[in-house]
Structure 1
Amino acid sequence: MSRFVPCSLPALAAGAVLAFAAPAHAQTATASILDVPPPDASMADIERFCINITDAARERRYALQKAELEALREEIEMKIAILEDKRAALKNWVELREEYASQASDDLVEVYSKMRPDAAAQRMEKLPGELSAALLSKLNPRMAGTILNEMSAERAALVTVIMSAAADKDQGAENQEAVQ
């Protein structure tokens, strides 16, 4: 039965260096260094060592966890900053879009106000009901009435219900259900 004899790391390193660097007769001296048994360590010494390094090991582990959490926190803060930048850019884009839509809507109302009522009615028949209602509500009442008069009865009723719903949101849902 072979017996494993533990030895220290410096002794192993010294033995390895001597084994490769020294001539063949020095190898016998290296073997004698490795054959020296380590000093006797009782179980009490080993337990005392383990107890002594427990707090240090725990503190080191906590320090590593804290460093990892700090790195994660910095990464999260960086991602939040990126998201805030994107949110601000999106908000700016939405404001520009709404401004353009409002401008286009005003321009479109002006175009329809200059059209003949029968031509405007014919084109509004092909538009979505909500858009037709929005356009008519921005026109002067006399022009809007003339255009509604030129539309088909069914389409004029739908547009009127939508305009009514926009004016009175509480009754709008009931009016739309009645038409459909």
Structure 2
Amino acid sequence: MPVCFNPLDLLMKNITPRSQIKRGENHSTRDVLLRLFLLLGIFFLLFPLRTVVAAESSGSDQQLIRMSEILRNKEKALQEKELLLREKEKRLAVLQQELQQKEKDIELLRQRAEKVLAEFQALKDEDLSRLVAVFSAMKPVAAAPLLEKLDLPYAVEVILRMQPRKAAKLLSAVNAERAAAISRSITSAKAAVE
């Protein structure tokens, strides 16, 4: 901390102290001029100092103002980013809920599809069992034209489900080309299983 001193003390050494001046005495011009000079010097000395100090303090004040403004702007930007982040988090939470709901819906649809497929397969098996019973009860000559009109996969299924002796008799009654196609399908189906 700088040591403060009074410049008057330095100058007052050369001036006659007031206590020594008697009333009614003429003051020396030298004392009056020295005092006047001293006061003017102090005034001019302090006035520029005030402006320099004011300029320095106003410069540092301006720096502080700029810094606080920059900090306020950064804080405002951070608050805006935080607000945007919260909004995005809310949207993400909503999207996650929608996704979970869609996953549940898809699972329900999959279960329904499996159920419908199982029912369809059961009906198909039931229909094939009836068809096999019908073809087994018919004479091979009467059943052959009907077997030729069936789609190849159904014809193969019917032959596979029939008793081997009845299936052989029926295949012998079917035209040679259709019988060969059925035989190839049966062979490839058995090879795929093995």
Q: Is TM (by shorter chain) over 0.5?
A: yes
| Residue 7 (structure 1) aligns with | none
2:100 matched to 1:77?
yes
2:171 matched to 1:148?
yes
Structure with max Cα Rg: 2
State the Cα distance separating 1:135 from its structure 2 match.
0.9
What TM-score do you get using the length of structure 1 for normalisation? 0.64
| Residue 124 (structure 1) aligns with | 147
- Distance change >3 Å, CA 169–CA 82, structure 1 → 2: closer
Partner Cα distance (1:169, 1:51) in 2: 71
2:86 matched to 1:63?
yes
Letter in 2 for 1:64: E
Structure 2 unmatched runs, 5+:
1-64
What TM-score do you get using the length of structure 2 for normalisation? 0.60
| Residue 111 (structure 1) aligns with | 134
| Residue 51 (structure 1) aligns with | 74
2:136 matched to 1:97?
no
Partner Cα distance (1:161, 1:44) in 2: 89
- Distance change >3 Å, CA 52–CA 158, structure 1 → 2: closer
Letter in 1 for 2:167: A
State the Cα distance separating 1:162 from its structure 2 match.
1.7
State the Cα distance separating 1:61 from its structure 2 match.
2.1
State the Cα distance separating 1:94 from its structure 2 match.
0.7
Secondary structure of the corresponding residue to residue 60 of structure 1: helix
State the Cα distance separating 1:150 from its structure 2 match.
1.3
Partner Cα distance (1:45, 1:86) in 2: 60
Secondary structure of the corresponding residue to residue 74 of structure 1: helix
Letter in 1 for 2:85: Y
Letter in 2 for 1:51: K
Partner Cα distance (1:114, 1:93) in 2: 31
Letter in 2 for 1:141: P
Letter in 2 for 1:119: A
- Distance change >3 Å, CA 104–CA 46, structure 1 → 2: same
- Distance change >3 Å, CA 165–CA 67, structure 1 → 2: same
- Identical amino acids, percent of aligned pairs: 22
State the Cα distance separating 1:125 from its structure 2 match.
1.5
Structure 1 unmatched runs, 5+:
1-41, 172-180
State the Cα distance separating 1:90 from its structure 2 match.
0.9
Letter in 2 for 1:91: E
Partner Cα distance (1:130, 1:49) in 2: 79
State the Cα distance separating 1:113 from its structure 2 match.
0.6
Partner Cα distance (1:133, 1:73) in 2: 49
